[in-house]
Chain A
């Protein structure tokens, strides 16, 4: 799955063989990835899969045990200072000063990065974030959605070339999430590269490219279509009555790797197309149920990857 060689200046992140252990437990294993400039790169994976650790290694907050790479053309091992000046990192947990006001937090960041007119920069950002009228409110008193907007504002204020967003939309309502993603797309349109980690499948589909990581291993990457195609998963969608019984019935049958209910429908997937076909054949003509051959969803693919990864690495 190697990409065609791209000119170095078009690459925002290029790392090879990143490995990191904490007290003997390997959290990230031999991870290699490439992110092109100006793209939104989604970083997906279950909790504890090594997403945060990888992001921290990219911006110099953690030192990899082995491996190498560049971030914006700077060596991640030796030039962390230069990387930090050009990267905006939004932590998973709100990490601005709760006892400073919105304006004071933004001015602090602006001064730290040496932005020319910190007051003006903060004022502009407040207007852009739609935080007018709240500039004197303490950051700790903001609601979850506003905190997240403020955090995004703080890390974009110094005009970084790369944004590293660690689960930025966790615990945020759908409207705020949509606004957030519109903002990210607007930023990417201006040439900013965005690496964003998330749990949400709908968010993954809003990324230009995605990578799936589980148990510290990078299992798949590419566009959503490429990842689905590469999974070689066949999926049947069943609608109708008695789906619960059907699900119990199908589990463990030859060729059936995964049975998952999706609201009023059931997804039946398997990697061995022929075996799945023959198993399905005996159920297809049951009355009251409608079988349809469909493409697997991204979630089907990820659950499958995760189950296989669990067998391989756990």
Chain B
């Protein structure tokens, strides 16, 4: 490949021309990238933010899980047992109830993951040597969250109680621990994943549908015409959201149908309630996507913003990792994501047979998020070209 003339020159020029043209293209791309400030910022923001966020927030062996106590009697032994349970660091007593109904409602609504029942006459039965049963009920819709705590239960309790208990042989407990994995006794992860997937898939598709809708009008030049006509921001928004509610509804039906038929996931609760709340969830996501669309300047930014919203939705919503295992700040973040509420709703309806009464907090949260997004979108929507 030495310097050449004659026929070689043309070959060399062709090769050189290749690099020169590639270089011209490269320089142009760099200039354009630099001009798009938002995209440029996202190059740094996305990896750093996401890494810090998820690095600190995700915990696959969660501790301090919210637990309810059903106290049928108030005894020293009962209190020692509760103390021992809390000392395991797996359980954190957040609610104390006195009726079975309250106890069940807490588990059903997902406010607690565990429930411990100290039955009436428990201490006396222990003293008599009757080996009474101590009920530990777990919400097993998330087998990861429930599994490690339940698995460690027997062993940990024995060690912890050795010092406190005045009764004999350390090898056996004077009572029986009856662990009850509710809603998903087999601990099948499929039962947990499939309902969650309904929400995840809907989040992704719905967000993209509307995130591009306003920027597309601007980039194609149709916005100027649209703005010159007598239409209000609310009307534009409704017109852009409603068709996709139908699309989302068809998608949801498809996913849930496959989940039931192919993966054998039950629908314990009301199908109508599931359809209603799914529609609410779909609309909430469409509103958020539409809001993004009114904030960004071009379609690339719209996609980037959607991704920035989508990743935390998957990781912080309780879909992939136990919600209760995350630090408190991450849980607050998670409460701001529609998927968090929908994952709870869809699992509760499909696996636990929950009613609207049990889910009113999450349903309300979805509605609030939807209205918030719509309000931002309508105020952000520019009615002029200024």
Which of A's residues lie within 8 Å of B, judged by CB? 56, 59-63, 80-81, 84-85, 87, 89, 91, 93-98, 109, 112-113
Is the CB–CB distance between A96 and B231 below 8 Å? no
Shortest beta-carbon distance from A284 to chain B in Å? 54
Residue of A nearest to B222 (CB): A95
Assess whether B204 is interfacial by the CB under 8 Å rule: no
Chain B, residues 194-237, CB within 8 Å of chain A (1/0): the string is 00000000000000000000000000111111011111000000
The interface residues of chain A lying within 8 Å CB-to-CB of B230 are 81, 84-85, 112-113
Contact of B76 with A by CB under 8 A? no
Q: Which residues of A contact B227 (CB under 8 A)?
A: 61
Residues of A contacting B: mostly: loop
Query: Cβ of A87: which chain B residues have Cβ within 8 Å of it?
Result: 228
Contact B229 A93 (CB under 8 A): no
Q: How far is the CA of A98 from the CA of B384 in the complex (A)?
A: 22
Known: A61-B384, A95-B224, A98-B220. 14 other contacts (CB 8 A): A61-B224, A61-B227, A62-B385, A62-B386, A63-B386, A80-B383, A84-B228, A87-B228, A89-B225, A89-B228, A94-B221, A97-B220, A112-B230, A113-B230
* CB–CB B385/A95 < 8 A: no
Cα–Cα, bound, A63→B220 (Å): 23
Q: Separation in Å of the B107 CB from the closest CB of chain A?
A: 52
Rounded to whole angstroms, the CA-CA distance of A61 and B231 in the bound complex is 13
A91 and B225 in contact, given A60-B384, A61-B384, A98-B220 (Cβ under 8 angstroms): yes
Q: Which residues of B contact A (CB under 8 A)?
A: 220-225, 227-231, 383-386
Tell me whether A62 and B229 are in contact (CB under 8 A). Answer: no
In contact, A84 and B229 (Cβ under 8 angstroms):
yes
Chain A residue numbers with a CB within 8 Å of B386 are 62-63
The chain A residue with its CB closest to the CB of B228 is: A89
Q: How far is the CB of A51 from chain B (nearest CB, A)?
A: 15
Q: Which residues of B contact A84 (CB under 8 A)?
A: 228-230
Tell me, in angstroms, the Cα distance from A63 to B385 when the chains sit together.
9
Q: Which residues of B contact A63 (CB under 8 A)?
A: 384, 386
Contacts of B384 in A (CB 8 A): 60-63
In the assembled complex, which residues on chain B have CB atoms less than 8 Å from the CB atom of A80?
Answer: 383
Give A105 Cβ to nearest chain B Cβ, in Å.
10
Q: Are A109 and B228 within 8 A (Cβ)?
A: no
- Interchain CB contact (< 8 A) of A56 among B222, B231, B383, B385: B385
Contacting residues, chain B, for A89 (C-beta < 8 A): 225, 228
Compute how far the CA of A63 lies from the CA of B386 in the bound complex, rounded to whole angstroms.
7
- Which chain A residues lie closer than 8 Å to B221 at the CB level? 91, 93-95
**Residue ID in chain A nearest B220 by CB atoms:** A98
Contact yes or no, A59 B228, CB < 8 A: yes
Write out the residue numbers on chain A whose beta carbons fall within 8 Å of the beta carbon of B383.
Answer: 80
Closest B residue to A97 by CB, please name it: B222
Residues of B within 8 A of A112 (CB): 229-231
> From residue A230, how far is it (CB to closest CB) to chain B in Å?
33
Residues of B within 8 A of A60 (CB): 228, 384
Give the docked Cα–Cα distance between A96 and B224 (Å). 10
User: Which residue of chain A is the closest to B235 with respect to CB atoms?
Assistant: A112
Cross-chain pairs A/B with CB under 8 angstroms, 28 sampled: A56-B385, A60-B228, A61-B227, A61-B228, A61-B384, A61-B385, A62-B386, A63-B386, A80-B383, A81-B230, A84-B228, A84-B230, A85-B230, A87-B228, A91-B221, A91-B224, A91-B228, A93-B221, A95-B221, A95-B222, A95-B223, A95-B224, A95-B225, A96-B222, A96-B225, A98-B220, A109-B229, A113-B230
A158 to chain B, nearest CB (A): 9
A113 to B222 alpha-carbon distance, docked (Å): 17
Q: What's the Cα separation between A59 and B226 when bound, in Å?
A: 12
CB distance from B376 to the nearest CB of A (A): 22
Chain A nearest Cβ from B221, distance in angstroms: 5
List residues of chain A with CB within 8 A of the CB of B223. 95
Chain A residues closer than 8 Å to B385, beta-carbon distance: 56, 61-62
A255 CB → nearest B CB, Å: 46
- Most A Cβ at <10 Å: residue of B228, B229, B383: B228
The minimal Cβ–Cβ distance linking B228 to chain A, given in whole angstroms, is 4
Contacts of B224 in A (CB 8 A): 61, 91, 93, 95
Q: Which 8 A-B pairs have the closest CB atoms?
A: A95-B225, A89-B228, A85-B230, A84-B230, A95-B221, A91-B224, A93-B221, A95-B222
